[in-house]
């Protein structure tokens, strides 16, 4: 199973811990929305490619 984590802000330690727990035994990808320029075409492709998507606001 593939999981995509989308970050609106840089993740803090609590978020990192949760990401590590949720990503265990899965192929995980991270996408930072806070870094300019944002490649929205790439983001849409990643969403389609992954089984699960989590947005960290």
Strands (E), 1-57: 2-7, 27-32, 52-56
Report pLDDT for 29: 98
Asked if 46 contacts 3 with a C-beta cutoff of 8 angstroms, the reply is no
CA torsion, ordered 42, 13, 25, 57, to nearest 10 deg: -40
Each residue's pLDDT tens digit in the chain (57 positions)? 999 999 999 999 999 999 999 999 999 999 999 999 999 999 999 999 999 999 999
SS3 26: coil
């Amino acid at each position: 199973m593939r999981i995509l984590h989308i970050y609106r802000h840089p993740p803090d330690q609590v978020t990192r811990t949760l990401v590590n727990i949720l990503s265990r035994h899965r192929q995980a990808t991270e996408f930072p929305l806070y870094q300019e320029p944002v490649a929205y075409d790439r983001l849409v492709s990643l969403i389609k490619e992954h089984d699960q998507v989590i947005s960290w606001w």
